[in-house]
Each structure stands twice: as structure tokens, then as C-alpha cells.
Amino acid sequence: MNTENASSLDKTLTGNTALGAIRLAASVAVLLALAAGYLASQYAYFSRDDNGANQATEWARFIDSPIVSWAALAVLIGSIALSLIPDRGEKP
């Protein structure tokens, strides 16, 4: 990796530019959402209701709802849009 690419990556990751800070914040938000979803899925699988059945089917029904699908689509489109916007001084 040459020094120009390394400094560009450093600026993006450390948020030395406004767009880099937005990209970093979006990346952290998506990472936290994925981790929270995974933890909720594990909790639903291992938790039991009063009858002794796990709650995985209820969780799966919730995840298959349209609001979750639309939220995932919004995150995907937003991520693509952020990747297509060139940073100041960055070649498109």
C-alpha cells in the first residue's frame, strides 16, 4: 500500500473530513445494528415462554415484516450513495 492510499484511508477512517466522519458514523451504526440483531436472534432462540417453547418463530415473523425489509433497503441505498460521493480532493 503506497503512502497516498494509506493517508487517504487514514483520513476516511479517522474522520478528518466531514464526509469521512459521516461514512464512519454510518459504518458504526450499521455494525451496531447487525450486532444487536444477532444478539436479539440468539436471545429469541434460547429464551423460553411459559409453555417451554422458544420464541424463535415469533422473532422470525417480526424480522420478515415489511418495515424491517424497507429499513434494510434504506441502509443499502444510503451506503451505496455514500460510497459514490467523492470526498474533497479525492479522485472520482
Domain ranges of the chain: 21-84
Query: Any bridge partners for residue 54, and if so which?
Result: 48
- Output the CA–CA distances (angstroms, integers) from residue 19 to 16, 32, 61, 83, 87, in the order listed: 9, 20, 37, 10, 6
Long-range contacts of 74-81 (CB under 8 A, 24+ apart): 75/30, 75/33, 78/26, 79/26, 79/30
3-state secondary structure (DSSP) of residue 47: coil
* Mean pLDDT of the residues in the chain: 80
SS3 86: coil
Residue 13: pLDDT band (50, 70, 90) is low
First to last CA, the chain: 19
pTM to 2 decimals? 0.65
pLDDT tens digit sequence for 32-66: 999 998 998 888 888 877 776 777 888 888 888 89
